[in-house]
Amino acid sequence: MLHLDSSADRRGSSVTRRLTGEFARIWRERHEGAGYRYRDLAGEPVPLVGSGYVGLGTRVERQGVVPPEKVAALAEGAEEEREWALTLPLVAEVRAVGAAAGTLLVGAPMYNFGVPAALKAWIDRVSFPGVFTDPDSGRALLGEVRVVVVAACGGGYGPGAPLAACDFQVPYLRAYFARLGVAAERLHVVRAELTRARDIPGLAAFQDASDASLAAAREAVAREAVAQEAAAGPAGLAGD
């Protein structure tokens, strides 16, 4: 399993960090000895992609699907070499999960209607052209990966909520992982909503709904962690 956290709140009060931590604890107890890798994307940020990444990626994409082991030979200059050196280890982690038909666990709070910059930086870097496609068959290498997104938002963004149209968190992640080739039935989303109801006066009326949403999210996380078969707020409000 590859476990990613992206909340900027590292003081122990992050909802997504607590929920992904519970998932990982249960999963590891049930899969003793299985490979487990953790990345704190806020604590150790992935560098933003630079001009060298764009140049190398464009050149590679024009040649079709190029296996990762052959990309370095296409780099022109130190900047492109440096960008690929930063990219390859992250790509390799995800490819290893794909090869093992393993689990990718993603903690993703909502920041300003979308995902945190720390997570977006990781997404931008691992999404190098062709690295998750088999060069011979065109098959998606992540088709058997199980992706569990643990999300949180400070307000309410579910169906029928006044701000439902402002949810660029979960729909974005669904679209992104689908584009990578993750099967729809293998993508699972757990979200706790109204997480700021107990500390923002304007949301105080939703405290019971907040508690119920968090309890449901905890139950869902526990269910997902023990699953043996995969799949068969106001503007500016941080939701974590």
Which residues sit in the known binding site for FMN? 110-113
- Cβ 129 vs Cβ 177: under 8 Å: no
Instruction: Using CB atoms within 10 Å of the CB of residue 142, give its burial: 0 to 12 exposed, 13 to 18 middle, 19+ buried.
Output: buried
- Cβ 106 vs Cβ 2: under 8 Å: no
Instruction: Using CB atoms within 10 Å of the CB of residue 5, give its burial: 0 to 12 exposed, 13 to 18 middle, 19+ buried.
Output: buried
- Cβ 17 vs Cβ 9: under 8 Å: yes
Report the alpha-carbon angle 213-28-210, nearest 5: 10
Write the CB contacts of 232 (distance below 8 Å, at least 6 apart in sequence): 185
Annotated binding residues, written as ranges, equal: 110-113
Q: How far apart are CA 216 and CA 211, in angstroms?
A: 9
Give the largest Cα separation in the chain, rounded: 59
For 89, phi then psi, to 5°, come to -60, -35
* DSSP state letter for 179: H
Q: How far apart are CA 176 and CA 239, in angstroms?
A: 21
